[in-house]
């Protein structure tokens, strides 16, 4: 995605991979098992009801990520980017 906005409401997603630049992404749903991300100047919000089991990827250039997290996190973020986790 480049300079895009994506809103999605889902019940269950097993795996999703996101490559985005200058975008805003909002996923809301019940269950997301695996999330792979590469964000550049992008905001990602993922308020799922069950925790994400596997999260990996990179954030750069003022990217922002807000989500629930579970078992495995492998994120690289530069000094300008922020990721926040919360519990349900």
pLDDT tens string 16-33? 999 999 999 998 888 889
pLDDT tens string 38-81? 999 999 998 888 888 899 999 999 999 998 877 788 999 999 99
Q: b or e along 60-84 (b: 16 or more beta carbons within 10 Å of the residue's beta carbon)?
A: bebbbbebbbeeeeeeebeeebebe
Residue bearing the bigger pLDDT, 86 or 21: 21
16 closest CA partner among 53, 68, 50:
53
User: DSSP letter at 80?
Assistant: T
Residues 88, 75: Cα–Cα separation, whole Å: 21
Q: 32 and 11 in contact (C-beta within 8 Å)? A: no
pLDDT at residue 78, as a whole number = 96
The pLDDT confidence band at residue 88, using thresholds 50, 70 and 90, is: low
pLDDT at residue 50, as a whole number = 82
């Amino acid at each position: 995605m480049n300079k895009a906005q994506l809103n999605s409401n889902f019940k269950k997603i097993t795996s999703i991979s996101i490559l985005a630049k200058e975008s805003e992404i909002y996923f809301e749903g019940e269950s997301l098992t695996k999330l792979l991300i590469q964000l550049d100047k992008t905001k990602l919000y993922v308020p799922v009801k069950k925790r994400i089991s596997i999260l990996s990827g990179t954030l750069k250039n003022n990217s922002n990520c807000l989500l629930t997290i579970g078992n495995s996190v492998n994120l690289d973020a530069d000094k300008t980017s922020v990721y926040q986790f919360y519990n349900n």
